[in-house]
Structure 1
């Protein structure tokens, strides 16, 4: 890391993943920065109201200021107004967790969620809004990759890494590019991508891309996730038409969101630039 801003944002992003807080030493180790520099940055962030110290010489946590800014942005941009009713309806029908991820600056990011399971065994991560989706191991990531050529999909995966670096990563996550390409081919055939014991052990999910007005650029992905014992292949086949219908509804409704309108202009501009380039084949 070179700039002060980059170092500061690395600390903020780390604290966003640890809502109960971290000590200076752990923050320094995770971000590979000197403890003295981390302490100075935290003091400045505290002065500005973005972090606070739980007690003297204690852990540092984010204040509510930055999450509130994010929620305010989503609300003013029309993302939650457009998406939440559709997510809530699909959650109520499926009885599982529904997640919407959006394409932003070349990444896929979870932004909205609805929980349909009200009792018993359920998958409820609780902290994934704002998290960049790991493409190779998640159903949403594979749904997005399946809309690309194999070459473009592999380029995206190589930027991010094939293996998700997390203790909770599932045992069935693809360990080779060939296996990943086979899974993308299957997603194109089925019309939806599947991840079973892949992103998380014991969890299964299915996802479809969300296209702007059905045939436009992909603006995000919509997924259904739940315990693998309940989200069987047969259950996924039953849910697939409803998931696709909800994605179509989201794609139509996206025109009412300022956020999606801006993203569509950027995506269409990018597509025009790409189409002017010679094919790598």
Structure 2
């Protein structure tokens, strides 16, 4: 059991778990997943319920995330001008490809979905699950970002994401370290990531990294489609489109000034 974590650390760990799972959870499941004492987890959850960050079902006593945190995140996105500035680019790519387009932002070594555009119509619409935080080792976005990192760091991120613990993703999930490293090498060579039925059954994606003017990765752009529509020729075609789209987004990215400030702080600290 973890006994040295601060209350603040435990609080944010619980919020992150509830946001990632996006389902109601038992107290025992929350405590076990986070390796917390159940009495301590209960105290934190009771406080979060009182403050409105978490809701507890009266019938089952299960806990779920309230809409307070997503609402704050939405307000931040609006203040940062992300939807207004970047959405037209997503809409254009969706129209051109007639597929689902998703944008994820990079923060705290995770990729979080922040915007999308649907280009398909009628029966051609992709019924893909939305991952608030992308599983790095099985998503096209995760693989293309990890391919830009030193292999040792990329492998650690992939292992933390679930590599080597198969069973919760799609039927084509990569299961071994050697196969994953080979996939990163292929991804780096072509400049875009591909995932076919790895994150979920019957769904595929092609993705590229959005790189700021300072050379720092700030997010990823993905085109998502039913796997049967993603033969090799289509993958190559969408790969070029997603790279071009990522380059266009990099020119508009509203948070590039923040990345520049972070870099300046790093230089000053050095």
TM over 0.5: yes
Partner residue in 2 for 1:32: 35
Among residues 67, 72, 90, which one is paired with 1:69 in the alignment?
72
Query: Residue in 1 aligned with 2:129?
Result: 125
The equivalent residue for 1:265 is 261
Q: Provide the TM-score with structure 2 as the length reference.
A: 0.85
- The number of residue pairs the alignment matches comes to 265
Alpha carbons of structure 1 residues 146 and 268: separation in structure 2 relative to 1, 3 Å? farther
Task: Point out the more displaced range, 152-161 or 43-52.
Answer: 152-161
Task: Report if the CA contact (8 A) 1:225-1:231 is conserved.
Answer: no
Query: Contact conserved, 1:53 with 1:60, CA < 8 A, in 2?
Result: yes
Shift, 1:195, TM fit = 1.1
Show the counterpart of 1:224: 223
Correspondences of 1:181-200 after superposition (within 5 Å): 181-200=181-200
Residues 163 and 138 (structure 1), Cα distance of their counterparts in 2 relative to 1, 3 Å cut: farther
Tell me by how many angstroms 1:229 deviates: 1.0
Gaps of 5+ in 2: none
Aligned in 2, Cα 1:176/1:218: closer, same or farther, shift over 3 Å? same
Counterpart secondary structure, 1:216: coil
Displacement, 1:160? 4.4
- Contact 1:82 / 1:250 at 8 angstroms: preserved in 2? no
Q: Is 1:97–1:123's contact at 8 Å kept on the other side of the alignment?
A: no
| Residues 56-135 of structure 1 aligned to structure 2 (within 5 Å) | 58-120=61-123, 122-126=126-130, 128-129=131-132, 131=133, 133-135=134-136
- Report how far residue 247 of structure 1 moved: 0.7
The alpha carbon displacement at 1:68 in A equals: 0.3
In the TM superposition, what is the alpha-carbon distance from 1:176 to its structure 2 partner? Answer: 2.5
Instruction: Tell me the CA shift for residue 267 of structure 1.
Output: 4.8
SS in 1 for 2:71: helix
Mapped partners of 2:116, 2:167: distance in 1: 22
Give the drift of 1:233. 1.8
Tell me what 1:279 maps to: none
CA contact (8 A) 1:137 1:164 kept: no
RMSD, aligned α-carbons: 2.7
Find the residue that maps to 1:229 and give its secondary structure.
Answer: helix
CA distance in 2, matches of 1:135, 1:21: 24
Aligned partner of 2:138 in structure 1 is: 137
Cα deviation for residue 104 of structure 1 reads: 1.9
Task: Give unmatched runs, 5+ long, in structure 1.
Answer: 277-281
Q: What's the CA shift string for 1:203-249, capped at 9, x where partnerless? A: 21111111224x72222211111211122222122222321221111
- Going from structure 1 to structure 2, the CA distance change for 1:155 and 1:26 (only over 3 Å counts) comes to closer
